[in-house]
Amino acid sequence: MSENGPLIIVGTGLAGYNLAKEVRKLDNDRELVLITADDGRFYSKPLLSTGFAKGKQADELAMQDAAAMAEQLGARVMTHTRVLHVDTQARTVRTDAGELHYGDLVLACGAHARPLPLAEDVQDRVLSINDLSDYGRFRQQLDGRKRVAIIGAGLIGSEFANDLALGGLEVQVIAPDEQLMPGLLPAQVAAPVQAALAKLGVRFHLGRSVVGAQAAGEGLVLELDDGSQLEADLVLSAIGLLANTALAQDAGLVCGKGIQVDRYLRTSDPHVYALGDCAEVMGMQLMYVMPLMSCARALARTLTQEATQVSYPVMPVMVKTPACPLVVSPPVTAATGLWTVTGEEQDLKALFHDAQGTLHGYALTGAAVSEKLQLNRQLPAWLA
Ligand SMILES: Cc1cc2nc3c(=O)[nH]c(=O)nc-3n(C[C@H](O)[C@H](O)[C@H](O)COP(=O)(O)OP(=O)(O)OC[C@H]3O[C@@H](n4cnc5c(N)ncnc54)[C@H](O)[C@@H]3O)c2cc1C
């Protein structure tokens, strides 16, 4: 902790704002500045993939604007301001609105959508939804259109497929793997989720990649690698997120897939910290809400009271595919192991054991979701 200058937080997503809230629970006096490239509205990002079926516009998902957050936090919130450079020697950040000195700096600058290698003239018809303004743009462009193609069948692609189909759109999903959520689920468990989405009307093109796209009227024609084509009014790209590490790399901080931090959330510079989607904590890149909340609580103590290590309990992910309820605790504590699947139809229980027979993860669908709490008790903490 350094009292020699304000605490500056870059980013007002769930990581930045929750850290600020945790800091204020412990210290009302520390000068606090939050800087964000966006409009600084406080919202819960997970609601973006359930908003359409509920008929929600972007404004309805925003819970508080930046001015209200500034007042609540007793902080300065600089909106529409991009941090361009960090000088760790001088302890300054250069922004497009001038330079600021910091005592401690926290990078909570999130992640960006992995780009799709498509021609420039069609890029503006391909959207990714990773923040509230993306969602607003999507809702605006959707106006009166019905046919949406989703590229990517991971967690986010599957959730959007469920939500948009539930909301009455014609949804097609294209992905190179033969199953949904390949990084998260065994194929047997992905099958009932896919079947339930198909029942909602979602059409799947799995094992297929998009190799080109052409503008066609107001929409697009996508070319797949088997020579087939499909038409869509709007295309959503959900092929994954990349941590925003450019600022940290430029400042000379050590980065891997994310900005690398230790259990104190400290980067390779003693006065710069990172948490949330931009961070790689002890080698783990966990782009979920619960890990960033654990980080926010620990880091707030480090910044205001005493150095505190982050601990991760078991943090299962409720996948928002209501067509087929699904909860997953990914096996983050084991490098290798095997899934065994029991149950039938929609109600499956998959358990992941290592070679010694220790349970490290699970995936539950349908009625089996009720076994979540009992299984949590059997799992090792993610970071003890
Ligand atoms: C559609 C969707 C659904 C999800 N659902 C779930 C779920 O059900 N459960 C779950 O656990 N997780 C879910 N997640 C993941 C979870 O929402 C994220 O892990 C979390 O919100 C990330 O928060 P963050 O603050 O780290 O990043 P972000 O919310 O991306 O915030 C980054 C901030 O940094 C700012 N910024 C970036 N660069 C700069 C710069 N140079 N200068 C100034 N400001 C900058 C941005 O303006 C922004 O304010 C979902 C994600 C998505 C996209």
Supply the pLDDT for residue 357: 97
* Candidate of 137, 289, 327 to mutate for ligand 1, largest count of ligand atoms within 8 Å of Cβ: 289
Helix (H, G, I), strand (E, B) or coil at 29: coil
Instruction: Note whether 10 and 83 are within 8 A (CB).
Output: yes
CB neighbour class for 367 (10 Å; exposed up to 12, middle 13-18, buried from 19): middle
Ranges of the chain with pLDDT below 70: 1-3
CATH topology of 115-237 equal to that of 325-376? no
Nearest CA to ligand 1 atom 44: 36
Phi, psi of 369 (to 5 degrees): -55, -25
Q: What fold, for 325-376?
A: Enolase-like; domain 1 (3.30.390)
Separation of alpha carbons 264 and 137, rounded Å: 37
Nearest CA to ligand 1 atom 22: 277
Q: What fold, for 115-237?
A: FAD/NAD(P)-binding domain (3.50.50)
Helix (H, G, I), strand (E, B) or coil at 280: strand
Buried b vs exposed e over 288-323: b needs ≥16 C-beta within 10 Å? ebebbbbbbbbbbbbbbeeebebebebbbbebbbeb
Q: Does domain 7-112+241-304 have CATH number 3.50.50.60?
A: yes
Hey, where are the domains in the chain?
Answer: 7-112+241-304, 115-237, 325-376
For 173, other C-beta atoms within 10 Å of its C-beta total: 27
What the block records as the tokens of 377 is: 């008790």
Separation of alpha carbons 48 and 384, rounded Å: 32
pLDDT digits (tens, 9 = 90+) for 144-201: 899 999 999 999 999 999 999 999 999 999 999 999 999 999 999 999 999 999 999 9
Nearest CA to ligand 1 atom 5: 46
Distance in Å, CA 218 to ligand 1 centroid = 30
Distance in Å, CA 215 to ligand 1 centroid = 30
Supply the pLDDT for residue 125: 83
Supply the pLDDT for residue 122: 87
Distance in Å, CA 274 to ligand 1 centroid = 13
Supply the pLDDT for residue 121: 83
**What's the pTM?**
0.97
Q: Which atom of ligand 1 is nearest to the CA of 160?
A: 1
Distance in Å, CA 29 to ligand 1 centroid = 27
Residues in the ligand 1 pocket, defined by CB under 6 Å = 10-16, 35-38, 45-46, 48-49, 82-83, 108-111, 129-131, 156, 244, 247, 276-277, 287-290, 292, 317, 320
Q: Which atom of ligand 1 is nearest to the CA of 287?
A: 19
